[in-house]
Amino acid sequence: MTSQKFPVLVTGGAGYIGSHATLALREAGWPVVVLDNLSTGFRWAIPDDVALVEGNIGDAAIVDCVLAEHKIGAILHFAGSILVPESVADPLKYYDNNTASSRILIERAVAAGVKHFIFSSTATIYGDVEQMPLSEDLPPSPINPYGTSKWMTEMMLRDVSAAHPINHAVLRYFNVAGADPEGRTGQSTAGATHLIKVACEAALGKRDSVAIFGDDYATKDGTGVRDYIHVSDLADAHVAALDWLVANSPDNLLANVGYAHGATVNEVLDAVDRVTNMKIERRLQGRRAGDPAALVADNSRALNVLGWTPKRDDLDGIVRDALAWERKLADRR
């Protein structure tokens, strides 16, 4: 752990993962500034002692102002669009929000002399690969524009770090779920498609059922397998990655962040049934475009290089935290 606590910019810091990372950074002693356009984030998700700048990462003037005014030394980049089916239907939105805007952010970071950059990437980059768990050494082969848009940003960071004095960490997430155990923030976006959030909404009567998109995959029960990681564990991985970048400059890092085991859709819904002591209605639908059969992490690099230790690897516990947040969110609204 480094003793250098310079200001850190969190893009998308009012959103789901970004707000948890902001909390983790503050608890580790890092001064934090949030840049968010609040299109899917919430002002109340940001702690009172964290400055919020409302704006887009693709607005060079706003980015320049934030980086200079707050003397930013590192950027944690979460801002972007994240829905796979939407990316298939509207790919240009994803190449704009996720790729073109990231190019502007990276350019302005270089111009401002920012030394460290952590990028919120995705396991979707691997595509539909039969080999499990997924290793960072596998060649990227995204099967949807969302994954491709993220991969393009990874390549930009690779090339920029080779040409300029900025090092970076790319963290490829698997399926992020749960909420802050202290109830400070959680997945709050209306119409979210994350399975555990959708199931918790159904358990609280906000939905009448949960859709299962395909039961003919080559998995134990025919439904898709995903590696579900608690969002607070993921946030801790970002703090570890920042410490690593500062200590190991100019080296860069690519690491999967997951638990190295997966659960099927039915297994997740079984967990929600257990935790809520009720039976959620399940409705079978066809496969969604761009969905691979399984995504499970080889997380050995994050464990060994970052020294990251997951603390919340328990599906029922993830569901309990998500359910508690969903109840709190209902009261807030």
The residues carrying an active-site annotation are 146
Separation of alpha carbons 154 and 20, rounded Å: 22
Distance CA 332, CA 14 (A): 16
Residue ranges of E strands in 188-315: 210-213, 225-226, 228-230, 253-257, 263-264, 282-285, 294-295
Using the Cα atoms of residue 219, residue 224, residue 228 and residue 234 in order, give the sign of their dihedral. positive
The DSSP output letter for 307 is: -
Strands 263-264 and 225-226: antiparallel
Distance (Å, whole) CA 279 – CA 277? 7
The span from the CA of 190 to the CA of 188, in Å, is 6
**Taking Cα atoms as reference points, which of 111, 79, 81, 66 lies closest to residue 12?**
79
CA distance 34 to 38: 11
Smallest CA-to-CA distance from 291 within 221, 234, 225, 246 is with: 225
Structure tokens at 63: 């980015």
